[in-house]
Structure 1
Amino acid sequence: MEDELIDSSRLSLSRKSQLPGAGFFYPDSLDEDRSEELVKEAVEDAEVVVVADTDADGLGCVALLREAYGAALDPEPFEEEIAERIERLEGTTDPEDDEEEAEVDVPEEEDVAPGSAVALVGSGPYSLEDDFDNVAEYAPEGVDVFVCDLCPDKYEYVEEELDRLVETASEVRWFDHHQWKDDVADAVEEAGVGLVVGESDEECSTDVTLRSLDYEFDDRFAELAAVTRDHDLWIREDARSDDLADYAYWTDAEEYVTVVGAYGADLPDVAAEFVELRRVEKERLIERAVSRAELKSVGPWTVGVTYGRCSQNEVAEALREEGADAAVVVKPAGSASIRGTENFELCHEVAGQVNGGGHPKAAGCKPDIYDDMLDYANHWTTQGSAAKRVILAAFERVAERAEQGVYDDEGVETDR
């Protein structure tokens, strides 16, 4: 396949909105090999390893841990790189020209030599066991390990790899705020892990990390946790929380951790300028997704359903303003984001029925309906019709269970 066929910078905004990024077309086997090599490079000389989600909340935990261990990096080289990216962005074509949409890449993780004694291993729900295994394989024996902002759906998914990790490390601590099943939490603790799970509707994982570490943090870190929580729990009372979320999404993990570790929730001018420039395209992708949305009645709820490569939180907010109690954003890569409101706090239950999980008001899933590339081709050309049907069917099942009184006021099954 020619590179230009998957090069997003060559696509019109309309096509870009409907197709996955270039990383989707990179084979898992090659990606796993490269991921293993990156983990090895990051952890082989580390004193502490943090396995964390790479959103603003997970990376906020890393910033706190580097501060606590005196291992924060100098932000100046990263700020210089941001300034160079801004120059490239300002040199691209008119953002109003749909046929000449441009994109500027952020530095690859391997292009930055972190050099921190607190190594960062970016992870996610579908790579957690592999990352545990790689850390156990390559980190020095006796290293301290932290796991942040991640929750396994089933203990057996990580059982063997976590056992290896516990044997390698002197201590493993796990900070999170997702909805944990009791049997999973019990099994993780029995494996020898110090698990702290905060209330998912009150704390983010950065909050949990802040209160769990025996260290006196400066006020900027408490503020960083509060602003991160504002976005992660979808409170949206502090405009800076969108800046943090967008910055974490648009740059690499090492840069984000270093910059917010140095400046807290108030991004330096150069980072703020970069975020604003990237928002030009972001807003237009949001508009595309909102224009495709349909409102469906499911049980007592109105569910807004749409498709596209976009920022799901802002799309969900727009659908809420149109009357949706819940929003589903199906992505070109096959996954979907589910967002709730005060009228719908069962997102995690819907996602749990479709190969996913999360929080009462925010969850994600990836329906198990893609057997080959023809299924993905159908997904792109029908704007996710099969995935939409499967997720709406999950809403219907949850609606039936809610009518039967299965859930309490906090969205937890009453028979648990």
Structure 2
Amino acid sequence: MDYYAIVHNDFDGTASAAVYARAVNSLPKKTFFTEPTKIHDLLGKLELRGVNNIMIADIGINASTLETTLKNLKRLISEGAKVQWFDHHVWKEDWKKKLNEIGVEVYHDTSTCGAGVIVKYLIPNDEFSKKLASADCSVDIWLHDDPMGEKLRRVVESNRDYSWKEYLIKKFYQGILWDEEFEKILIDQVDKELKGYEKLQKYVRLLEIDGKKVVVAVRWKGPPDISYASQFLMNRYNAIVFASVNGKAISFRSNIIEVRKYAEKLGGGGHPLAAGAGLKAPFWRFFLHRLGYRKPMLDWVSNIVKNVINDIGFVPYQKKDVPM
């Protein structure tokens, strides 16, 4: 079957593309890696070129771009496309209704990760896909209950090139979960992470909001990635929320606070404990940050984080059982 895969540009997106390929017994004609804030633009530019099947996975809906997304999907469907959308982020029921009305098959389940949704609905008896989804969910929705997830995430994120993720999709499709190549990458990544932790203090600021500690950061180059760094910094400073900016977006992390509410306030979304939103920094602050002057960016993000937390408060996350 010829199809296009449109997935998030992270481990969950990569795993989602792989398990879908195993479900339909075919690799995609082309894989597009994108983000929820850019899906509407990608769909607007997409040309079918004889490929009439489109799968979208691990891409949430943003209220601000919903209408444009619907418009662009309508155009593709009118040209003969069949669209399946698999996701696990929080959606409004109205969004699913609108997508269904224009002919999109929506598979939505917040109890698992993106790859887990596909396994659950398309390929529940494939042992390899279940193992890959288990590892993926462990790190993507912060379950931390499968050691393979910590290993594979480092492998997937070791190279930001999309060609690397396409290569991994092929390996996973072939049923390769771990091999010597991955082992060497893991050793190299862990070594880089250990060196990277030493420099993190230069990029962070500790806030106290309503008697609770919050770490804010401007993004650094190289390992550790945001998920591992956020855990390290929250533990080091006894903080309950972590927020970071890279000039284009803001990300939130926590182990006990529902940070998705902060992301939603800023026009984004995500998981209860890991979420984000588009947030463009003023050019002069971003420019100074690139030159090594981090204070202007830290001042800016600190004010944004203070304001959004003061508006929302600290809402404890109510953990739910996650079946896999």
TM-score class, shorter-chain normalisation, is 0.7 to 0.9
Aligned ranges for residues 9-408 of structure 1 at < 5 Å? Answer: 47-71=2-26, 116-135=27-46, 137-140=47-50, 143-154=52-63, 155-199=66-110, 202-213=111-122, 215=123, 217-251=125-159, 252-264=164-176, 266-290=177-201, 292-299=203-210, 301-309=212-220, 310-322=224-236, 323-331=238-246, 333-342=247-256, 344-345=257-258, 347-370=259-282, 372=283, 374-380=284-290, 381-383=293-295, 384-385=297-298, 386-399=300-313
Alpha-carbon distance between aligned partners in 2 of 1:283 and 1:229, rounded to the nearest angstrom: 24
Whole-Å Cα distance in 2 between the matches of residues 60 and 408 of structure 1? 26
Taking the aligned partners of 1:168 and 1:287, their CA distance within structure 2 comes to 54
CA distance in 2, matches of 1:153, 1:60: 22
TM-score by length of 1: 0.67
Whether the 8 Å CA contact 1:354–1:391 is kept in 2: the answer is no
Query: Are the equivalent residues in 2 in contact too, given 1:53–1:122 (CA < 8 A)?
Result: yes
Quick check: 1:178–1:358 contact (8 Å CA) kept in 2?
yes
Residue 197 (structure 1) shift = 1.3
Q: 1:130 to 1:308 in 2, by over 3 A?
A: closer
Deviation per CA, 1:13-64: give whole Å up to 9, x if none: xxxxxxxxxxxxxxxxxxxxxxxxxxxxxxxxx7111111121111111111
Q: What's 1:32 paired with?
A: none
**1:227 touches 1:240 (CA, 8 Å); kept in 2?**
yes
Which residue identity does 1:221 align to in structure 2? S
Partner Cα distance (2:48, 2:53) in 1: 13
Q: In the alignment, residue 241 of structure 2 is paired with which amino acid? A: A
Cα deviation, 1:267-325, whole Å, max 9, x if unaligned, reads 21112212321332233233322464333222364212222324111111113323111
Q: Percent identity?
A: 18
Structure 1 residues not aligned, in runs of 5+: 1-45, 72-115, 412-416
SS in 2 for 1:140: coil
Q: 4+ runs of 1 displaced by more than 4 Å?
A: 407-411
Count of residues in Structure 1 that have an aligned counterpart in Structure 2: 306
Output the amino acid matched with 2:74. Answer: D
- Cα distance in 1 for partners of 2:144, 2:202 equals 23
Report the secondary structure of 2:242's partner residue.
strand
Consecutive unaligned residues of structure 2, counting only runs of 5 or more, are none
Please give the alpha-carbon distance, in whole angstroms, between the structure 2 residues aligned to 1:177 and 1:300. Answer: 33
Rounded to whole Å, the distance in 2 between the matches of 1:369 and 1:330 is: 8
Amino acid at match of 1:192: G
Write the deviation string for residues 191-233 of structure 1: whole angstroms up to 9, x where unpaired.
Answer: 211111112xx300111001111x4643111111111100101
Q: 1:273 to 1:150 in 2, by over 3 A?
A: same
Bigger CA radius of gyration: 1
Give the aligned CA root-mean-square deviation in angstroms. 2.5
Would the aligned equivalents of 2:197 and 2:229 in 1 still touch at CA under 8 Å? Answer: yes
Structure 2 letter corresponding to 1:223: K
1:286–1:187 distance in 2 versus 1, CA, 3 Å: farther
- 1:373-414 alpha-carbon deviations (Å, 9 max, x no partner): x232134422522123212211111118x6xxxx99579xxx
User: Does the 8 Å CA contact 1:334/1:387 hold for their aligned counterparts?
Assistant: no
Instruction: Find the aligned partners of 1:126 and 1:156 in 2 and give their Cα distance.
Output: 13
Deviation track 1:58-107 (CA, whole Å, cap 9, x = no partner) reads 11111112212222xxxxxxxxxxxxxxxxxxxxxxxxxxxxxxxxxxxx
